[in-house]
Amino acid sequence: MAGRQLTRLALIGTMSDLHLAPVAYDLDRLGTIVAQLAPDLLCAEITRTMWESRQLDATSVEVREALIPVVAATDVVLVPVAPSPESFDDFAPRHGLRAWPARTFDRILRWGQRQANTVEAINGPLFSVFCHSVCGLNEWSWSADQRAAWNEQNEAIVANVIEAIRRDPGRRVLLAVQCQRIHKLLPSLRRYDELLELVPLERL
């Protein structure tokens, strides 16, 4: 559309349930980065119901303790984009033959996440390749139904992000999701090049 300004969208990956483990992942650093980036809109992994009712107990720790405090203290507006509260681990098989490779790949991923134990490393190119590869192999070991449910949730996140962009076009948007989603979201978001421009964090 002539004269229409593209929305600039950057993704930042978080470690979600790994915050519950004793790893040196600095939530304050995540909050500082988001505050410094100062996006107009912060699309976060929280359902609309949880956000509007402020029932935050079931949300991920990085949303509850890093992102929401930043939103409260700045002009950043939080847009909830999660269709449901499930995360990557909730879709993985827990029983049967498929559970063993899923657990193995999960251990490999957690090992990598412990090595890349800063926000910058998690969102750097080396860990991105590592995470995307391991998560892709992990999902390959799932059943078709589990992959379909995982894909459906990610497509719903993309739909909610696009809805937010269409509602308020031309703004700077930061999408904060657990790092296991990024390799699924990026290809889907690239389909909307008439609406948005995917940029690295430092160019937001």
Partner 1 sequence: MPIPATGAGRNGAGLQGRDALRKAFRPGRRHRSWQRCTKGHRRQAAGGERYGQARPIRVAVAAPTLLEQAALEALLATLPGLEVVVGQASPAAHVLLWRPADAQDSPPAHDDLTAVLAVIDDITVAPKANLAGLFTSDERPEALGLAVRQVARGQEYLSPSLALALLQQQAGSPRSEEAGLEMLTGRERDVLVLLGQGLSNKEIATRLYLSVRTVEGHLSNAYAKLDVASRTEAALLAARLLQDPSE
Residues that bind partner 1 (CB under 8 A): 29, 32-33, 35-38, 40-41, 70, 72-75, 77-79, 111-112, 114-118, 120-121, 124-127, 130, 164, 167-168, 171, 200-202, 204
Q: Cα separation of 51 and 44, whole Å?
A: 10
Give 34's Cβ-side CA count (13 Å radius).
36
For partner 1, which is the closer residue by CB, 78 or 142? 78
Supply the minimum distance, in Å, between the C-beta of residue 187 and partner 1: 22
Check if the beta carbon of residue 114 is closer than 8 Å to that of residue 164. Answer: no
For partner 1, which is the closer residue by CB, 36 or 53? 36
Q: Cα separation of 105 and 64, whole Å?
A: 27
Supply the minimum distance, in Å, between the C-beta of residue 130 and partner 1: 8
Supply the minimum distance, in Å, between the C-beta of residue 40 and partner 1: 4
Q: What is the DSSP letter of 67?
A: I
For partner 1, which is the closer residue by CB, 102 or 164? 164
Structure token digits, residue 65: 């303790």
Supply the minimum distance, in Å, between the C-beta of residue 129 and partner 1: 10
Structure token digits, residue 173: 């948007």
Supply the minimum distance, in Å, between the C-beta of residue 24 and partner 1: 11
Question: DSSP alpha helices (H): ranges in 17-97?
Answer: 27-37, 48-53, 61-62, 68-73, 88-91
For partner 1, which is the closer residue by CB, 105 or 130? 130
